[in-house]
Amino acid sequence: MDKKLLEVSSPGTLKFSKTKKTQEITLTNVSKVDVTFKLQSTVYGRFSMRPRWGVLKPNDYTDVLITMSKDAELSKKGRDKILVICMPAPINEVDFDLTASFWRHNICYDPKMEKHQLTCLEENGDDEKESTPGDCVGCIKDPKEANLLRARTTVAKHWR
């Protein structure tokens, strides 16, 4: 795909906490054709997304509400993701039943489809400092391992 069809307002990361279970993103059609989109998550039932799919006319936008389930816990390694998949709409008119049927029966792994990936992270609800690899250096007993961890942390900070 040469030109971008959809623009997602989020910078790529959605941050949830025990007190903030809902995030809102805006999907904007930046192309000159109607675009159909669908949202899906890596783990079924962890998130509720409204609307989950739809069709946007050129320069049109929609706000999507993403809510983390009540008892859900997110992966500490950032493995929970929301995927926004889109492509030019195969029909001219917006038809609820036809669009629902289209996304139900089409595989979302087609390389021609545009994909936007949002990583979901869980923040501490308190004002606690988040743990980083550098914070745990003092916990490691072996001096060689501690030095190796310090070196990796320094390199990682340099490349951010």
Least trusted range by pLDDT, from 40-44, 132-136, 140-144: 132-136
pLDDT at residue 58 in the model = 94
Residue 21 falls inside a structural domain:
yes
pLDDT at residue 73 in the model = 84
The mean predicted confidence, pLDDT, of the chain is 76
> How far apart (Å, rounded) are the C-alpha atoms in residues 157 and 135?
13
pLDDT at residue 64 in the model = 96
Across the range 43-62, mean pLDDT stands at 91
Residues 25-43 have pLDDT tens digits of 999 999 999 888 999 998 8
pLDDT at residue 84 in the model = 92
Domain that residue 103 falls in: 6-122
Instruction: Decide which of 134 and 76 is more confident.
Output: 76
My answer on whether 135 and 96 are in the same domain is no
> How far apart (Å, rounded) are the C-alpha atoms in residues 114 and 86?
5
pLDDT band at 151 (very low <50, low <70, confident <90, very high): low
What CATH number corresponds to the domain at position 93?
2.60.40.10
Least trusted range by pLDDT, from 60-64, 95-99, 129-133: 129-133
My answer on whether 95 and 150 are in the same domain is no
CA distances from 68 to 13, 37, 49 (A): 14, 20, 9
Give the DSSP per-residue string, 43-55.
STTSEEEESSEEE
Instruction: Decide which of 80 and 158 is more confident.
Output: 80
pLDDT at residue 47 in the model = 93
Residue 1 falls inside a structural domain:
no
Q: Residue 49: how many CB atoms within 10 A of its CB?
A: 17
Residue 23 falls inside a structural domain:
yes
